[in-house]
Chain A
Amino acid sequence: MKIIENENYKITYNEEDAVVSFEGTLRLGGMGEYAPIVEYLEQAINDSDKLTLILKKLEFLNSSGIAMLSKFVISARNKEGFELSVIGSNETPWQGKSLNNLKRLMPSLTLNLE
């Protein structure tokens, strides 16, 4: 279990179950600041052939964050047979369109909007 957190957000990587959970609001400035999170996600791709992203409790993700997620989905798409699941919420305004766009980037992605 690895955790990145501050007063605004908490990101947990459960290596055993291959689950990365996001909570709170992520407004990091630019890709540079998202680098540690990207490292997590890249590691998750290397560690296993599947991964679940739980975004239900991520209330806000800024455009840099969405760009980061999109780039991650593209690299997941490039790894053959990689199973990616995303669990989001219809209650959170930013998620509907953005998560659907992720699925369009990687049609094999399993998207659950709860």
Chain B
Amino acid sequence: MAEKGTGLVKNNRIVTQQITLVVTGFLFVFFILGVAVKVVLSNQEENYTKLDYLVNQSNAKSLSMTKLSDSIRDRMLLVFDIINTDDAFEIDDLNMELSSKATDFIKAREELISLDLTQGQIEELVDQRKILKQAQIALGEIVNNAINETGVNGHELIKKARTVNAGVLERLNTMRNVQVELAESNLSAANLSYNETRSQMFMLGSMALICSLLVLYFVIRQIRSQGHKLTEVMGQLEESNKTLENRVEKRTKELLHTRAENMRMGAELDVSREIQKVILPTEDELSKIDGLEIAAFMEPADEIGGDYYEVLKHEDGALIGIGDVTGHGLESGIVMLMTQSIIRAQSNLKHKDLPDMLQVANKTIHDNVARMNCEKNLSLMLLDYQKPGTVYDVQGEMTISGQHESVIVIRNNGELEEIDTDELGFPVGLIENADDFYHQQKIKLEAGDTVVLYTDGITEAANADHKLYGIERLRDVVSENYRKSPEEIKDLVIDNVKKHIGEQKVYDDLTLVIMKQK
């Protein structure tokens, strides 16, 4: 869940980042476009102002120049009129008009000078002034002659003045031409500036377009990768949901199963423990065996192991059995119960042969476990006790058959004998026919001789360090206490085993049978 939470926070952060990116991108594009518009507008305004000024200047110059030319021409015409008239009054009038034209000229010239002139134009005007002075003098002479009616050299002077004036007019023309050229160059400059502005605008526009495209590209890419991630996350989420569902379902099933299993196991344990205890020989039975003093101990493990022991009184003594079914649990308990029945049934036969009994037990158990499909088998040892006066006069006799743990015999002088039973039998129920493997061995029991039977629950009882109790400890305890009663020996051994196990769980049934020849 924590992972998914982080994923969502991360996703929100990505969305915020994207919005910021888009907004920033478009703000940037607008900014560029704004700058472009501003630059273009200010450029255009500047151009227009410049062009306006230039046009105004040009017009004013043209006007002044025209005025200059006109006043010169008018003056020439007036001089002609003065020469060609004899009327003194008319000459005065014309002379006055000539003066006013001179004033016009001076005014026009001043106007021209006040305009924004190029260096060439200024020089031109300075030059004109010298020439005009000459023309002025010539014209002045003509006018004076006319007034004084001398008429001397009038035509010559006019010719001279005309030449000078023609020069001035030509200069003025040149100036006008220069002005036209200037205007043209200004126009082309304005055009150039317009083109420049246009290219600037184009460039800024392109930049804005590229920026827009870049912003779009990044946003699309981000959205796409986010889409992939989202699909992935959704997939994972779905997967983990499915897994979770499966897990919950599985766990529920497991829990239900475990609960059912626990109940079943609990019930099974109760039943099998009951089976094991209910079928054990009673204290009363044990005390009634002639010739033998018997003490027995049996404690099933938490999960019972299928230990078996039996003491069946018969008229000559007793049939004793001890065994250990493989494995644990109800099935082991059932096999143990079957074994008890098979042995008890055969104990009622008149003729008792231990190997024969074991062969029957083997075949019966084998066939039954095959039916149960559980492959249980057991170590099983039978001992037939003949009390004194049956085989021997004063001694008892013990016939031993079947494969089990060794039999410990402590003679009444404390001497310890150990009888290995491996060659006396075979695991019961393991193979169908084990007839050849069952043999028997007989021992004579003097008064005070002790026989110890046990299951591997005793010798393999483990402590916290996994150290087994072992056959040596068992031997030691029984050897040290051989003079004591079977009951006392049994208690001492069990105490010693329990001390060894300590707080450890008891994994296997503990079975111990101590018999002493009276």
Contact B430 A70 (CB under 8 A): yes
Give the size range of A's interface with the partner: 10 to 19
Main secondary structure of the interface of B (DSSP, over half): loop
| Contact A101 to B426, CB < 8 A, known contacts A62-B327, A70-B431 | yes
Instruction: Enumerate B399-426 residues with CB–CB distance to A below 8 Å.
Output: 403, 422-423, 426
Alpha-carbon gap, A105 to B431, bound state (A): 10
Alpha-carbon gap, A71 to B423, bound state (A): 19
Q: Which of B377, B403, B430, B460 has a CB less than 8 Å from the CB of A93?
A: B460
Q: Which of A32, A63, A101 has a CB less than 8 Å from the CB of B326?
A: A63
Contact B431 A74 (CB under 8 A): yes
Tell me, yes or no, whether A31 is within 8 Å of chain B by CB. Answer: yes
Alpha-carbon gap, A47 to B422, bound state (A): 33
Q: Which of B376, B427, B460, B468 has a CB less than 8 Å from the CB of A101?
A: B427
Provide the residues of chain B in CB contact with A93, threshold 8 Å: 460, 468
Alpha-carbon gap, A9 to B403, bound state (A): 29
Provide the residues of chain A in CB contact with B326, threshold 8 Å: 62-63, 66
| Contact A64 to B426, CB < 8 A, known contacts A70-B431, A71-B431 | no
Instruction: Enumerate A67-114 residues with CB–CB distance to B below 8 Å.
Output: 67-68, 70-71, 74, 93, 97, 100-101, 104-105
Q: Name the distance in Å between B27's Cβ and chain A's nearest Cβ.
A: 64
Alpha-carbon gap, A30 to B430, bound state (A): 13
Contact A63 B327 (CB under 8 A): yes
Contact B427 A66 (CB under 8 A): yes
Main secondary structure of the interface of A (DSSP, over half): helix
Provide the residues of chain A in CB contact with B375, threshold 8 Å: 30-31, 63-64, 67-68
Contact B426 A104 (CB under 8 A): yes
Q: Name the distance in Å between A36's Cβ and chain B's nearest Cβ.
A: 16
Q: Name the distance in Å between A85's Cβ and chain B's nearest Cβ.
A: 21
Q: Name the distance in Å between A70's Cβ and chain B's nearest Cβ.
A: 5
Provide the residues of chain A in CB contact with B422, threshold 8 Å: 97, 100-101
Provide the residues of chain B in CB contact with A32, threshold 8 Å: 373
Provide the residues of chain A in CB contact with B376, threshold 8 Å: 63
Contact B430 A67 (CB under 8 A): yes
Contact B377 A63 (CB under 8 A): yes
Provide the residues of chain B in CB contact with A68, threshold 8 Å: 375
Tell me, yes or no, whether B218 is within 8 Å of chain A by CB. Answer: no
Alpha-carbon gap, A68 to B375, bound state (A): 9
Q: Name the distance in Å between B463's Cβ and chain A's nearest Cβ.
A: 15
Provide the residues of chain A in CB contact with B437, threshold 8 Å: 104
Alpha-carbon gap, A67 to B373, bound state (A): 12
Provide the residues of chain B in CB contact with A100, threshold 8 Å: 422
Tell me, yes or no, whether B9 is within 8 Å of chain A by CB. Answer: no
Tell me, yes or no, whether B278 is within 8 Å of chain A by CB. Answer: no
Alpha-carbon gap, A32 to B327, bound state (A): 17
Q: Name the distance in Å between A112's Cβ and chain B's nearest Cβ.
A: 18
Alpha-carbon gap, A37 to B431, bound state (A): 19
Provide the residues of chain A in CB contact with B327, threshold 8 Å: 62-63
* A104 to B, closest residue via Cβ: B437
Tell me, yes or no, whether B374 is within 8 Å of chain A by CB. Answer: yes
Q: Name the distance in Å between A3's Cβ and chain B's nearest Cβ.
A: 25
Q: Name the distance in Å between A30's Cβ and chain B's nearest Cβ.
A: 6
* B332 to A, closest residue via Cβ: A63
Provide the residues of chain B in CB contact with A74, threshold 8 Å: 431
Alpha-carbon gap, A68 to B431, bound state (A): 10
Provide the residues of chain A in CB contact with B460, threshold 8 Å: 93
Alpha-carbon gap, A97 to B427, bound state (A): 10
Instruction: Enumerate B369-390 residues with CB–CB distance to A below 8 Å.
Output: 373-377
Provide the residues of chain A in CB contact with B430, threshold 8 Å: 66-67, 70, 101
Q: Name the distance in Å between A71's Cβ and chain B's nearest Cβ.
A: 7
Q: Name the distance in Å between A5's Cβ and chain B's nearest Cβ.
A: 22
Alpha-carbon gap, A52 to B373, bound state (A): 29
Provide the residues of chain B in CB contact with A104, threshold 8 Å: 423, 426, 437
Instruction: Enumerate A1-60 residues with CB–CB distance to B below 8 Å.
Output: 30-32
Q: Name the distance in Å between B427's Cβ and chain A's nearest Cβ.
A: 6
Alpha-carbon gap, A97 to B381, bound state (A): 15
Alpha-carbon gap, A32 to B373, bound state (A): 9
Provide the residues of chain A in CB contact with B426, threshold 8 Å: 101, 104
Alpha-carbon gap, A66 to B460, bound state (A): 19
* A105 to B, closest residue via Cβ: B431
Instruction: Enumerate B466-503 residues with CB–CB distance to A below 8 Å.
Output: 468
Contact B373 A31 (CB under 8 A): yes
Contact B431 A30 (CB under 8 A): no
Alpha-carbon gap, A31 to B374, bound state (A): 8
* B456 to A, closest residue via Cβ: A93
Provide the residues of chain B in CB contact with A67, threshold 8 Å: 375, 377, 430
Provide the residues of chain A in CB contact with B403, threshold 8 Å: 97, 101
Q: Name the distance in Å between A63's Cβ and chain B's nearest Cβ.
A: 3
Alpha-carbon gap, A100 to B437, bound state (A): 12
* A69 to B, closest residue via Cβ: B430
Alpha-carbon gap, A97 to B403, bound state (A): 9
Alpha-carbon gap, A93 to B373, bound state (A): 26
Alpha-carbon gap, A63 to B379, bound state (A): 11
Q: Name the distance in Å between B229's Cβ and chain A's nearest Cβ.
A: 38
Instruction: Enumerate B347-393 residues with CB–CB distance to A below 8 Å.
Output: 373-377
A-B CB contact pairs (8 Å), 11 listed? A32-B373, A62-B326, A63-B375, A64-B374, A64-B375, A70-B427, A70-B431, A97-B422, A101-B422, A101-B430, A105-B431
Question: CB within 8 Å of B: which residues of A?
Answer: 30-32, 62-64, 66-68, 70-71, 74, 93, 97, 100-101, 104-105
Closest 5 CB pairs of A and B: A63-B326, A64-B375, A67-B375, A70-B430, A63-B327
Beyond contacts A66-B427, A66-B430, A101-B426: 16 other A-B pairs, Cβ-Cβ < 8 A, are A30-B373, A31-B373, A31-B375, A62-B326, A62-B327, A63-B327, A63-B377, A66-B377, A67-B375, A67-B377, A68-B375, A70-B427, A93-B460, A101-B403, A104-B426, A104-B437
